[in-house]
A and B are shown apart, each in its own frame.
Chain A
Amino acid sequence: SQTIHQWPATLVQPVGSPLSLECTVEGTSNPNLYWYRQAAGRGLQLLFYSVGIGQISSEVPQNLSASRPQDRQFILSSKKLLLSDSGFYLCAANRQADTQYFGPGTRLTVL
C-alpha cells in the first residue's frame, strides 16, 4: 500500500511570509497527487491535483501554487501568506481510479 509523508506537521507563519509544504509518496509509481485544505470547522476543499510530472490542475484561484518536480513529490507554495490561508493541509495520492490515501497533514497558522 501507499505511504504519504508530509512535513512539517505544524507551522506558524507571519502574514506576508513565503510557504513551502512538501509531500512525498512511497509504495507506488506515477500516482495522481492532490492537495486539500480544511479551514477550521469546514469541509475538505481540493486545491490542486496532478496526474503526472509538471502537470498541475488548479481548482481554486488564490495565492497558492503547486509543483511536481518528481514523480512522487508534490509541493505547495505561496510567495506571500494571507490570514485566510490558515488551515489544515492534506496531501493525498491514488493510482488511476483507486481509493485515495491521505498524508498526516500540516496544520498551518498564519498570524
Chain B
Amino acid sequence: KNEVEQSPQNLTAQEGEFITINCSYSVGISALHWLQQHPGGGIVSLFMLSSGKKKHGRLIATINIQEKHSSLHITASHPRDSAVYICAVTTPGAQKLVFGQGTRLTINP
C-alpha cells in the first residue's frame, strides 16, 4: 500500500463544476504539498500546508491532521485547469517528498 493515496485517479467534469480531489496518507508528516503538472510536463507547486486551510484564487486546499486527509478544491472549473494534480508529503526530519500517484483532471467546455 502506498504511503500517499489519491482519489480519484481520473476525473472528467464540465466547465463551471466544483472539483474535489482527495489525498490520504499513512505516515506522520511535517507538511503536505499539492502540485500541478501541465500537459507539457512542467510542475508548479500550488500549496504547502501543515494545518487548516489555504486559498489561492479559485483553488482551496484543506488538511485534517487527525484524519490524515487533505482535499484540493477547484471552484468554477475551467478547461485551463485540466492537468494532473499530485499530492505529496514530507516526513519529519526528511527533506524529500513522497508522492501520490496523481489525479488526471479534464475539464470540458
Contact = CB atoms under 8 A, between A and B. Distances in A.
B109 interface: no
Interface residues of A, number: 22
Interface in B17-62: 30-31, 33, 35, 41-45, 48
B86 A44 contact: yes
A30 interface: no
A90 interface: yes
Contact of B96 (A38, A49, A107): A49
A99 B90 CA distance: 10
A39 B5 CA distance: 19
B101 interface: yes
Contact of A51 (B31, B95, B100): B95
A86 B87 CA distance: 24
B33 A99 contact: yes
